[in-house]
Chains A and B, each alone.
Chain A
Amino acid sequence: MSKVYVAGVGLTKVDEHWRESLEYLMAEASLKALDDAGISRVDSIYVGSMLSQVLQEQSHLGALLAEELGLSGIPAMGVEAASASGAAAVYAGAREIEASRANAVLVVGVDKMSDGMSEEVTSAMMIGERQEYTGFIGATFYSINALLYSLYMNRYSVGQEKIALFPVLCHEHAVNAPHAQYPFKIKLDTVLSSPYVAEPLRRFETTAIADGAAALVLVNEETARKLDSLKTELVIESATDYLTPLQREDPLWFPSVSLSTSKALSRSGIEKKDIKTIEIFDATSIMAVLSLESLGFAERGEGWRLLERGELTLSGSIPCNTFGGLKARGHPAGATGIYQIAELHLQLTHRAGKNQLDSIKAGLAQSLGGIASTAFTSILKEV
């Protein structure tokens, strides 16, 4: 099996890009990644998007992007796994290289939420849930998160002020991230006094409407050597679970996360203690805490303690979301999974600017479709 290396990354700023279209954004990120890798052609393209079919009523993103890049002719297609669509595109591209069917693959994630009205975006964020059941009754992505939040606080007797520290951490890290949507600090009070989206979940514990595209050029070893970019090796694994977390045996445990993580660790041949930075999927503060536990960085019911002890800060034992995560870098749905891996790559290649971590050899990115109905765990390690 061929190994997979990241040869280039391209990120657009996460923002409300009123003047640019979906296809423009994904072409922009793609060109940046191709330029970063120093190549002009790839063997195939995979595009991950969660919302383009409903918000832009645009499918067929593969051929569309190939055309935008002047690459019509090569195989190109969309990949979808709800809010993990970007990671799913990486998975598809990585598998193609591993199978020795390609030397270089462009994987892109994109979503443009600002094209929808707020109710439309709320509806769109539910398309990764079981619509016939939870969508029909008017449950929203955030309301399901809120139920988990409330179950969590009751089961473990934890106060909201412990969990609501997560967005504070993310904003702190976003300050020095040029592509972040919200590069400013916030205080815990700001989070706790922001309006409810769905009790107990507050506005500042969720993400906002965001547009963005991110791209990676994945290559095999031979191409990486040619491009002089044999720097980071990528291993990506995935697992699935029921669409509605509340129908699972334990809604507060994400087996898909622990399963994909143990698979990724074992294949990459490193141990968890070697992971020195993580990008977790904080679509809400409670999802961040549950993720930390399911990833195995904290015991059940203890994920918030990492925040309290400052272990997730840039100088902590396991710096987390070093560019702001979903909360502050921004969460353009299908693009997020690629932002996460790209950010790990920037850290490992010492291009993280003011937020550069010292001497890290490996990082982990966790990407979720829905509330861990699909989980991707990517491990990026220095070569």
Chain B
Amino acid sequence: MFRIKVPRYWRHKDFRYRLNAWKCNHCGEVHFFKPLVCRRCRLREFNKVMLPETGKLIAYTIVRSPPCGFEEQTPYIIGFIELEDGTRILSQITDCYPEELKLGMKVEVTFRRVREDDPDKIIAYGYKFRPAI
């Protein structure tokens, strides 16, 4: 039912692997997935940008009750991060124990296994953030 669908995972690999996103030429709104129309100003021109690799943690929580495909990783941390350029992004925080979490802490992007599909054995890789080294 809730499986990794390979084409869906694959088609967004620019964002998932490298935080490549689209920035509206007019209002600067950042879109993580290829847009046709800017959701904010409705204009239609975008630049592909690489989002900053570092940011600070502005909120966090720990998932204790996981969805399908994340059972093994539970508990895991979901962080709300403000990147250097002001873009806000939701990400798992890895290499971090809950007691080490601090609001405002500096985090940096890393590349991890996000999810593994049991029946098909496909591995979905993508970004996670970790405390800055």
Contact = CB atoms under 8 A, between A and B. Distances in A.
Interface of A: 54, 57, 118-120, 122-124, 126, 132-140, 142-144, 146-148, 150-151, 154, 195-201, 242, 244, 246-247
A349 to B, nearest CB: 39
A1 B128 CA distance: 53
Given A122-B67, A132-B8, A137-B126, A151 B92 contact: no
Interface string B47-62: 0000000000011111
B67 A138 contact: yes
Contact of A135 (B39, B61, B66, B67): B67
Contacts of A150: 59-61
A135 B80 CA distance: 14
A147 B64 contact: no
Contacts of B59: 147-148, 150-151, 154
Contact of B88 (A123, A132, A246): A246
B90 to A, nearest CB: 6
B12 A119 contact: no
A123 B68 contact: yes
Contacts of A197: 64-65
Contacts, number: 108
Nearest to A135: B67
Contact of B65 (A133, A147, A198): A198
Contacts of B19: none
A209 to B, nearest CB: 11
B60 A147 contact: yes
A134 B126 CA distance: 12
A247 B103 CA distance: 19
Contacts of B62: 196, 198-199
B70 A196 contact: no
A119 B68 contact: yes
A118 to B, nearest CB: 7
B92 A137 contact: yes
Contact of B66 (A138, A242, A247): A138
Contact of B78 (A118, A143, A196): A143
B68 A136 contact: no
A189 B81 CA distance: 32
A143 B61 contact: yes
Contacts of B63: 138-140, 142-143, 198
Interface string B3-42: 0000011001000100000000000000011000001000
Contact of B67 (A119, A132, A199): A119
A366 to B, nearest CB: 24
B68 A147 contact: no
A57 B2 CA distance: 12
Nearest to B73: A138
Given A119-B67, A123-B68, A138 B114 contact: yes
Given A133-B90, A144-B90, 20 more contacts: A54-B2, A57-B1, A118-B65, A119-B66, A120-B1, A122-B65, A123-B1, A123-B67, A126-B67, A136-B9, A137-B128, A138-B67, A139-B63, A143-B61, A146-B78, A147-B78, A198-B61, A198-B65, A199-B61, A246-B80
Nearest to B76: A138
Contacts of B73: 138
A135 to B, nearest CB: 7
Q: Which of the listed residues B12, B62, B90 has the most CB atoms from chain A within 10 Å of its own CB? A: B90
Contacts of B95: none
